Each structure stands twice: as structure tokens, then as C-alpha cells.
Structure 1
């Protein structure tokens, strides 16, 4: 299985470091080891030790005067099924999709924390996220639940008051959804344990992230492994 996986882009840019004249063992900020950071001035990196891991680290970075600077860090949780490449993920596997994604908007049961500039949508008792592969609203917020989206194939967002107290939508399978690949992948507040495929952090870290994220800086999230098993490719 390992031989069929693409080597993690985070680790491959060492070649670029050598070509630029930097010593091979010179420490470099993690975003500078990525082949693609999304083109913005802010980047969130969710990194697990290996593909089977359910815990790891989330760090967030901003580019200042041409250099990446770490703005924060927190322990992170991943899917109960570990991580898998985004283009190969299947719905219902409990895996977190590796890749580089945009962050379309934030939402939450609670109000946005002070200082939040990101587009923020409040959850109500009419708010659902449709995961029904046969529905027109597949992998979309729906309010109210559409008639072609079965309630058993959707998340009633307000039922997850802890996890969705505050969250960011991860743009996995979002712009042009592929049926069966997966829906409702978020960066949200920790629950009781591993997630169903999302990335989660403690409530305080989520608040700091939302106060930090600047839509004008076009933040992205890179999800991958430090073991080099999965590709951080823009999907």
C-alpha cells in the first residue's frame, strides 16, 4: 500500500532547498516545504504522524515580508479511520481527506468570537448539512432540509452543540462535488474522541483561529502526514 501512495509534498521540497543553496539540514518553516500553499498569506497545517493516526498537530501560519511566521499551534484530532488521499476518499469511511483546501466560510451554534472577520453563519434549528448522494444540495448547507435530502443522510447541525459551537468549512469535495466521495468535512471543536472525518481542536484554539483568520489573506488548510505517506495536493 505504501508504494502506491504519493510522497508527501511537505517533505519533497527539500530538493528546492538544496537548489536554492540552503544546507540540506537547514530548518525551514513548514509552509516553505510545501509545493503549494494556496497562494494566500495565511495557511493552516493539520499534520498527523502517519495515515493511521487519529491525533496530531494543527499549526497556523502567516506570510510577513516574504517569510512564513507561525501564529499558533494546538493538538488536533482526525478521523477514526485515519487519513487518506482526498481524491481516493469514500463517504462513510471515517477518514480525513489529505490535501490542500480552501476555507469557504465559518459557522457555529454560538456567536462568532470577538475579532472575527471571516464570513460567519449562525446555526439554527432549521440548519442541516446534506450528505445524501441523490440530493441536489449534496455537500451543502441546507435551510430547511430539502425534500430530496433524507434526514438520515444529513447532519442536523444544532444537534452537535459542542463540536459545531464554532467551525470552519473545509472545501473538500465542495466546488464540484463528486457523489460518494464525502460531505461535511469541517475544522471544528473537539468532541469526545476521534472525528468522523473532520479535523478538530480544543474550543480555545478554534476561537483563536477564527479571530486570526483574515478572508483577505485567502487562508487554506493543508492536511497530511509527517511520515510522507499522503500527498498534499490541491483538489
Structure 2
């Protein structure tokens, strides 16, 4: 399993994904999608505009020398001390998802890379999150996205690996049909997926049904392709942005996602 080798999903997992209710995973479209979505994570947001491409550079010092120190924040903007304390010291890449409001299904996503000068911002994209917004205590079926800091270790999708260095599981288990909360088609939503390590076992396919915190705490919270409406719990981006994200994330940089509404992240 790796960036260029698909990791097969056991038949039992795929079969289970076809029959288990969407409430066990946390994302997916609307009610009609629950019958056809195998892993049923979330819907998506309107395509955003890339303001700056995230460079895939190996040397933090090289990046820093090319960027004015005055333009690189020493700390991630918009985050309070409690949130900052949750970010691991070895994390060199952060996907910062800032929700518009506690009950809003829309968000902004900014990519950051830690350099010797500070946190270098990359692309900025629009996104969708869960229909009812955000929560500190996520449960299956609450239609809210979990607030917190989570690892990004595993990827997959219906389409071929676009060139990520994360382990990538290409599987028919990512096929999805039906419609979302606003009647939008869900087809293609799981063409590209990155598992968010909320109640997910790191080192396993996004389709893996292991729930370390128990089924009641939900799971199947993913970054995935946007389809134009709110999600059950995931964060969704335009397809081109998902491809760019996959090509940027580097397991050697210990990437994490920091996600929540703006006020909660200031704590």
C-alpha cells in the first residue's frame, strides 16, 4: 500500500459498507443517499478560488528564504491557546478549516506549511461542512462536524491515485449515488477522499469500519469531493482542490487538520 499501489479492501468491509446505515459513519448526502452510499461521508461546497498554489517543497529553510519573514505568521492565525496546544510538535503541514458559524454548513480551508520563519500559507478554498454546523461532542447522526485537531494519514477514492504520498486505497467501495440535502446528485463525491482521524484507526483505508471510540461517536469523517450541498459530518472541496490537496500532503510532514467554527477555534 502506498502512493502508487492500491490497497485492496477486504470483501467483508465493502459488503458492510453497502448495507450499514449512514448514521454509523457521519457523512453522506441526504436520506436518499443513505441507501446507496457505501461509506457515506459528506456532501460538498461550491468550488472556491485558489489564491495561491501550495508548493510541494521538501526544505522548510528553502521556503523561508524565498518568503519575507514579515509575511509569514509565527503562529497559525485565528487559533487560541487551547487549539494550538492540540497541534503536535512534529506537524509540519496543517489544513485549517474555519467554519463561518457554529450552525453554518460553509467554511474556508487554508493550507499551511511550518517553516523556520513561521507558518507559510498556501491555497485558500471554500468548502462545506455538516448541515447543522459544528460540535465539541460529535455523535452518529447529529449532522454536525467534529471540532478539533486530527491526523491525516490515509486516502483513497473511486478514481486512480492522483499522485499522493499518502497510502491510497482505490476501491469500488467509494461508489455513491442518490441525492444530498438540497437535491444535488452525490455521484463522484468519493472520487477522492482523505480520512480525517476522528474515530478512525490510523493506517487503515478510509473504508475501514473500526471505531476506536465506539459506533455511537460516529466515524467516516472525510475530506472529499464537493457536490454542492451540506454534509453529514465531512468537509468537502471542489474536485480539483482535492487533487491538489492529495498531491501536497506528505506523511513525512505529519499533516493534521484543524477544524471548527471560527469562535470555537479561538479558544
Mapped pair 1:119 → 2:167: yes
2:134 maps to 1:89 = no
Aligned residue pairs: how many? Answer: 172
Using the alignment, how far apart are the partners of 1:166 and 1:30 within structure 2?
A: 30
Q: Secondary structure at the match of 2:216?
A: coil
Match of 2:158 among 94, 106, 109: 109
Counterpart position of 2:259: 223
Corresponding residue for 2:60? none
1:158 to 175, 199, 207: 175
Q: Which residue of 2 aligns with 1:203?
A: 239
Q: Is the strand fraction higher in 1 or 2?
A: 1
Query: How far is the alpha carbon of 1:191 from its aligned partner?
Result: 1.6
1:36 and 1:94 mapped to 2: Cα distance? 24
Structure 1 pair 231/196, CA: closer, same or farther in 2 (3 Å)? farther
1:91–1:180 contact (8 Å) kept in structure 2: yes
Consecutive unaligned residues of structure 2, counting only runs of 5 or more, are 1-71, 178-186, 202-211
How far 1:218 moved relative to its partner? 0.5
Deviation at 1:106, TM superposition (A): 0.6
Q: TM-score, normalised by structure 1?
A: 0.67
SS of 2:194's partner is strand
Q: TM-score, normalised by structure 2?
A: 0.60
**Deviates most, 158-167 or 201-210:** 158-167
Give the Å deviation of 1:38.
2.5
Give yes or no for contact 1:84–1:230 (8 Å, CA) kept in 2.
no
Determine whether 1:65 maps to 2:132.
no
Alignment partners' CA distance in 2, 1:94 and 1:30:
31
After superposition, the C-alpha distances for 1:120-152 in whole angstroms (9 at most, x for unaligned) are 11012xx3xxxxxxxxxxxxxxxxxxxxxxxxx
Give the gaps of 5 or more residues in structure 1: 1-26, 128-156
Q: Which has the higher helix share?
A: 2
Preserved CA contact (<8 Å) 1:31 1:37: no
Contact 1:109/1:122 (8 A) holds in 2: yes
Question: Take 1:119 and 1:229, find their aligned partners in 2: how far apart are those partners?
Answer: 31
Distance change in 2, residues 1:158/1:224 (3 Å) = same
Q: Shift of the alpha carbon at 1:31?
A: 2.0
Whole-angstrom CA distance in 2 between matches of 1:100 and 1:79: 17
Q: Does 1:171 align with 2:197?
A: yes
**Contact 2:155–2:168, Cα closer than 8 Å, also in 1:** yes
C-alpha RMSD of matched pairs (Å):
2.1
